[in-house]
Amino acid sequence: MLPCGVFNTTYEKDIAIVRTKTHWSMLIGFVILVLLGPQFLGPKLLDILNYLAIDLIAVLGLNIVIGYCGQIALAQSAFMAVGGYTSAILYGELGLPFFACLFAAGLSSGLAGLVFGSPAVRIKGFYLAMATLAAQFIIIWIIDHTPTVSGGYLGMEVGKPGFFGVSIDSIKAHSYLIFPITLIMIYLHKNLGRSRTGRAFMAIRDNDIAAEVMGVGPSGHKLLAFFLSAFYAGIAGCLWAHYVGRLHPEAFGLMDSIWYVGFLVVGGMGSTMGPIFGTLFLVSLTEFVRFISPVLAGSFPGLSGSIFAASAQLIFGLIVVLFVVFEPRGINHRWELFKNYYRLHPYSY
Amino acid sequence: MTFFIELILSGFMNGAIYAVLALGLVVLYKSSSILNFAHGELALLGAFLCYAAINQAGLSIAIALSATLLMSAGIGLFIEVAFLRRLTGQPLISAIMMTLGLAALLRGVVLLMWGPQPRSFELFPSKLLFIGDLVVSLEQIILLILLIGVVLMVGLFFKRTNMGLAMRAASEDHQAARATGVNLKNVFRLALVVVCVTATTGGLIISGLYGLDFNISDIGLKAFAVILLGGMDSIAGAIVAGLLVGVLETLAAGYLDPFVGGGVAEIFPYVVLLLLLMIRPYGLFGLIRIERI
């Protein structure tokens, strides 16, 4: 449903992201808000927002492979680990410039995605889910068992990033690094969805045999989707590693990968807004649980240390199950319905 | 040589646990073509329920065991009615996310109720038997017999009873089964009960052998390698492959651990899984699917 008075007369208009003057002003306002925000927000809130932005990049990547291409990937956090470790080693040991490390992190993670996504050429569905599950465990195991390179279970320190003479050492400075990169990644993701490659992904998602008949080669596109998805994960992992300043294999568990898929399912797959809604919703819910967990700890004595982990998992599981049962198309679908409603407002159709 | 035989024996033990868990996975996959990612968490919940029945409610072991199995059957029914029934006609990612969400939910419940610390859990008397140079624990033998009993029972159920036949029919084709008078609802319910009971049995045995720990839920994912090796829709395959993976895993851990610094057993099933998926995705005994548009 388009805004009133907007018509698609050319193909360019049909695929345009920004259509009306209101859109333009909202977009510019939002970008200004994002860039000015760190000046006015406190460090606690900024910290949450930084993690949220990093999660968002990972979930956007996941959306490429699950939402656009219809393949199952349950190893996103392991790919983040690959990116994080690559960047940490290149930056710390070899002293490459930060942005080269960022790109190398994406690339190495993308290659890992290519390797572990290669079963997708032959198998799909549950089989593919199991293959990527295996990838999650194997990658983390390799990191754990190469102590000379990665520090093994002791973890490793990551240097604070700096470039062009600017050193990124405070939370606010990190926000100025992470937010623009996130905006760029969102834009690239949106662009992918309206390009030929994106449409090829969707054709494969809807029916891979039919796609092949129409001249879209499934194998190459599936591998490309895995590469791009892991590339996003690598960028997110690199930002995460430099933001936290410390890497440890246990920080990238299976549970984290499942959370990312959960973000995607709750938000809605196959759109750019879906991952954004899902990440916003579940991260704010988690933060709310973290906020009230000291109160809960009073009613569950004897586990005050793990009350947050327990209740966060419980609520996450509940939310995901409820969404699958009641709104499998995610928050984004509700948002689209709402948009249609207010654009038509006085009339019902 | 003794080392080798001991490894084989303890491998059989692990393999039997895998076989029981894989049995539940295969039964569910056969009847509803859903792969249960929450299997390990169901095992965890079952083990903790039994622990609570024995150590917190003070029941005797026999009563506690039967109560646990009954409760897990009830949980299975609840999961079917509340969640899995809604998955008909939904895309695959919904099915995966449903069971993954269930897994997170169950982990949260167990963590809230019992906390994260590991506990010791005595189910059976532990006594060491010496046969020549071999050292075998009595516990292992009791559990092995128990496992073989469960496996035989489920196998016979599928081969010999009407309900078993109905479940096999449902796995072939839901509509065709319905047309011949199979009550699909009952089939799904029963499948979920079998899933929960087998998972609980597996969980009880692991915790009886190695103590009650939060990590026993990992075995649910490792069992995926087993059902892949055996073929996702073959019960005999699940049992053979379970024993095979268990023995191979223990052998690999026994001989490779000194070279790579430990932890081979953690990763071995996943490597098997990945290799199998690349070489022979339908497993040893599974049906090769031919796909049409």
pLDDT tens digit string along A29-59?
988 888 888 888 888 888 888 899 999 999 9
pLDDT tens digit string along A70-88?
888 888 999 999 999 988 8
Interchain contact, A325 vs B83, CB within 8 Å: yes
B2 CB within 8 Å of a chain A CB = no
Residue of A nearest to B34 (CA): A126
DSSP code of residue A71: -
What's the complex ipTM?
0.83
Out of A217-226, A300-309, B203-212, pick the least confident. A300-309
The residue-averaged pLDDT of B235-248 equals: 83
Instruction: Using an 8 Å CB-CB cutoff, list chain B residues near A141.
Output: 263, 266-267
pLDDT tens digit string along A114-126?
988 888 887 777 7
The residue-averaged pLDDT of B239-268 equals: 78
pLDDT value, residue B234: 75
CA distance A337 to chain B (A): 20
Instruction: Using an 8 Å CB-CB cutoff, list chain B residues near A250.
Output: none
Instruction: Using an 8 Å CB-CB cutoff, list chain A residues near B96.
Output: 72, 74, 126, 129, 261
Q: What is the mean pLDDT of chain A?
A: 85
Point out the residue among B108, B225, B228 whose CB comes nearest to the CB of A313: B108
B228 CB within 8 Å of a chain A CB = yes
Instruction: Using an 8 Å CB-CB cutoff, list chain A residues near B261.
Output: 145
**Spatial distance between the Cα atoms of B195 and B92, rounded to a whole number of angstroms:** 20
Instruction: Using an 8 Å CB-CB cutoff, list chain B residues near A74.
Output: 96
Three state DSSP letters for chain B: CHHHHHHHHHHHHHHHHHHHHHHHHHHHHHHHCCCCCCHHHHHHHHHHHHHHHHHHCCCCHHHHHHHHHHHHHHHHHHHHHHCHHHHCCCCHHHHHHHHHHHHHHHHHHHHHHHCCCCECCCCCCCCEEEECCEEEEHHHHHHHHHHHHHHHHHHHHHHHCHHHHHHHHHHHCHHHHHHCCCCHHHHHHHHHHHHHHHHHHHHHHHHHHHCECHHHHHHHHHHHHHHHHHCCCCHHHHHHHHHHHHHHHHHHHHHHHHHHCCCHHHHHHHHHHHHHHHHCCCCCCCCCCCCCC
Interchain contact, A265 vs B93, CB within 8 Å: yes
Positive or negative torsion for Cα A83, A320, B197, B46: positive
Mutation site for B-interface testing, chosen from A138, A314, A326, A329 by largest number of B Cβ within 10 Å: A314
Most confident of A123-132, A272-281, A283-292, B80-89: A272-281
CA distance A223 to chain B (A): 15
The residue-averaged pLDDT of A297-314 equals: 71
pLDDT tens digit string along A89-107?
888 878 788 888 889 999 9
Out of A48-62, A302-316, B8-22, pick the least confident. A302-316
CA distance A120 to chain B (A): 9
Out of A150-154, A188-192, A248-252, pick the least confident. A150-154
B293 CB within 8 Å of a chain A CB = yes
CA distance B242 to chain A (A): 17
Residue of B nearest to A257 (CA): B100
